Amino acid sequence: MPLRKLVLMLMLFPVALLFAQPLADQSEEMICKEIDEYRASFGSLARPVTNDAMFDYDVKWYDLYFDLDPVNEVIQARTQILFQSEVNALSTVILDLTDVLTVDSVFGAGTEFTRGGDLITITLTDTLALGEQAILGIAYHGQPQAEVGFQGFEFGSHNGHPIISTLSEPYGARSWWPCKDSPRDKADSVAITIRAPGDLIAVSNGMLVNTIDNLDGSKTWFWQHNYPITTYLVHLAVTNYEYWTDVYHFSDGDSMPLEYWVYPEYYSTFYTRWQTDTPYIMDAYNELFGKYPYENEKYGMVQFNWGGGMEHQTCSSMGGAGEILNAHEMAHQWWGDMITCADFHHIWLNEGFAAYSEALYAENRFGTASYFSAMSNKDWDFYGSIYRVDTTSVNSIFNRIVYDKAAWVLHMLRHVVGDENFFDILTQWRNEYEFSTVRTEDFQNVAENVYGSDLTWFFDEWIYGAGRPLYRWWWGVQNTNNDSTIITLQVDQTQDNSYPTYTMPIDIHLSDATHDTVLVVWNDSRSQEFSLALPFNPGTVQFDPEKWVYRRATQVTSLDEETLLANDFSLGEGYPNPFNGAVTFPIHTGFRQVVKVSIFNILGEQVFSDQIVADGTYRYLWSGISSESQVLGSGVYLVRIDNGDFQHQMKISFIK
Ligand SMILES: [Zn+2]
């Protein structure tokens, strides 16, 4: 989903998201506006796990009707659900629905209901046997909630015109329609009918099957989507859109509409960018990932009032026309929509794949250098694990780690298993899980089956583990004669002991004026020596020069230097500790250098960071504030100092 975090980073590092030319991204003007609008809170709907009893039934289809009143910002709506009992005697059906909306009536297989806790519990008139199906209808009205998670349901405006749009990921579908709001249960199809003022165009998932002029100043739009879909990917977007369409030709001769809806005032800029980029991106993904999953319907993009994008099924909602955003959201049609994380602990299977697809697209269209450049732009220090332990907040789920570091994990997997295996893994992934939902272990199984070998070590250190290896390496000639040279390669891992000891194959490039070769060493301990035999005496030795490993590496010219440097960087005890007003901690460096100071809360979230130039002993004073100068709460915090080669950390207690 949401590329919002990426957008925030773009503000800080204006070039960070740009590939090598000629890719473009959103204008800075738009980005500033987005930051003003940035609010990510769940309000009352911070409930990741739907009620267990919801899994007593399986949803077959949803039929949704919305009558939109943009003037009063209310909806009159109706949802019908075809469901099947998964138990022997199903007597109640529980659905997610915000308490903010008023239920007028329930009809069909039951009429009695109770509300509360953002749930509606419906008593069935007749108990259903295992496998038996029935239809329930819920008529309701009110003002749906905006600002649920990323957006929820929003009545907004652009250029003096109303824009009604939705963005439900992760738990926001229930803020505007009753549903079983879990990605695990995909409906086989969904129908969305929207009645709106006649001067507006209503866009949704799938195909527009009919439009009716109601002869009362309103129009009704009938959308139908006939593929499996999870609740958070259902959407609507309604305003005075400028619309155009194009035809995409698949390599096998089939074709499909490409459809675009933008605000009239943005038409010229969006038209040029989308017409230029979209067919190239579609070509690349069809070649790399197999045919577009919803070929019988459409791929569309619709502008909405949210900075960033959202991969609504068959129709991405877009806050900008940038090429990377386009590539990211379209990739989700395969990774996220066709194959969906079963719950948000595994969101990297959506976001990491989409973020990595940006690089694959860059490689496919512009070549290898653009691929590595795209990966380089995702190379940040991340803390915590890609597997998201806390799924109760947007900030925790959509931490940038699930985009950028997860993209690096796929990049590394590609190098570990080799190109052919890697793309076979993607093919197999699709073959096994198309239109269903997945967890990390499913992907590991597919990868292991194709690779033919256990990959637990890889997933343990990169998906469940935190941090990155900090390598220090040294090489020297051990022995040489006319026929051969043996060199010694010393590789140490200097990351803090709280991080894993990494196992990784590392490319060592060795060359002289007439030779050039790559040897792969499997490094799997904190301190390791390798002897490499060569038919020539290399003048140059390079350590992972293309950067296939999410790491940092420093070459030392002597093993003594390594010891010296290691001993000359330290973090002294903080005082007072516990502290009330401010804490001081001494940072010692043997020579003048830049030191990054970071402070993390107990959840592992970075709350403060700073950078200093230290030479000798520097007494760092921290007064319990965040990077945004907000006073933080009482609790245990972790202080980390990092000079690029080494890290030290300690705990401090803040008592207010
Ligand atoms: Zn995304």
The pLDDT score that the predictor gives to residue 495 is 87
H/E segment holding residue 6: helix 4-12
Distance from C-alpha of 447 to C-alpha of 451, rounded to nearest angstrom: 6
Quickly name the fold that domain 4-38+253-305+319-464 has. Neutral Protease; domain 2 (1.10.390)
Whether the per-residue pLDDT at 38 is higher than 80: the answer is: no
CA of 640 to the centre of ligand 1 (A): 30
CA of 335 to the centre of ligand 1 (A): 9
Distance from C-alpha of 40 to C-alpha of 149, rounded to nearest angstrom: 6
CA 240 from chain center: how many Å?
A: 31
Whether the per-residue pLDDT at 40 is higher than 90: the answer is: no
Q: Where in the chain is the domain with CATH 1.10.390.10?
A: 4-38+253-305+319-464
CA of 50 to the centre of ligand 1 (A): 23
Q: Where in the chain is the domain with CATH 2.60.40.1840?
A: 470-566
CA of 318 to the centre of ligand 1 (A): 11
H/E segment holding residue 493: strand 485-493
The pLDDT score that the predictor gives to residue 39 is 27
CA of 476 to the centre of ligand 1 (A): 46
Distance from C-alpha of 61 to C-alpha of 225, rounded to nearest angstrom: 10
CA distances from 204 to 45, 147, 189 (A): 24, 20, 13
Phi (first) and psi of residue 601, to 5 degrees: -85, -175
The pLDDT score that the predictor gives to residue 569 is 83
Strand-pairing partners, residue 154, are 165
Cis preceding linkage at 22, omega within 30:
yes
Q: What is the CATH number of domain 470-566?
A: 2.60.40.1840
- Tell me the mean pLDDT in the region 115-126: 96
Whether the per-residue pLDDT at 47 is higher than 70: the answer is: no
Residues in the chain: 656
CA of 378 to the centre of ligand 1 (A): 14
Whether the per-residue pLDDT at 32 is higher than 70: the answer is: no
CA of 352 to the centre of ligand 1 (A): 8
Phi (first) and psi of residue 222, to 5 degrees: -110, 110
CA of 336 to the centre of ligand 1 (A): 8
DSSP count for the chain of H helices, then E strands: 12, 34
Quickly state the pLDDT bin for 45 (edges 50, 70, 90): very low
Distance from C-alpha of 569 to C-alpha of 557, rounded to nearest angstrom: 19
CA of 574 to the centre of ligand 1 (A): 40
The pLDDT score that the predictor gives to residue 223 is 98
CA of 37 to the centre of ligand 1 (A): 19
CA of 330 to the centre of ligand 1 (A): 9
Whether the per-residue pLDDT at 50 is higher than 80: the answer is: no
pLDDT tens across 467-523, in order? 999 999 999 998 888 789 999 999 999 988 888 999 999 999 999 999 999 999 999
Average pLDDT, the chain: 89
Token pair of 198 as six digits:
């006649």
CA of 629 to the centre of ligand 1 (A): 30
Quickly name the fold that domain 569-654 has. Immunoglobulin-like (2.60.40)
CA of 329 to the centre of ligand 1 (A): 6
CA of 644 to the centre of ligand 1 (A): 30
CA of 328 to the centre of ligand 1 (A): 6
Q: Does domain 54-240 have CATH number 2.60.40.1730?
A: yes
CA of 2 to the centre of ligand 1 (A): 5
CA of 547 to the centre of ligand 1 (A): 24
CA of 651 to the centre of ligand 1 (A): 34
CA of 151 to the centre of ligand 1 (A): 15
In the block, tokens 């959509």 appear at 398
pLDDT tens across 130-153, in order? 999 999 999 999 999 776 678 899
CA of 232 to the centre of ligand 1 (A): 13
Q: Where in the chain is the domain with CATH 2.60.40.1730?
A: 54-240
- ipTM of the complex, rounded to two decimals: 0.99
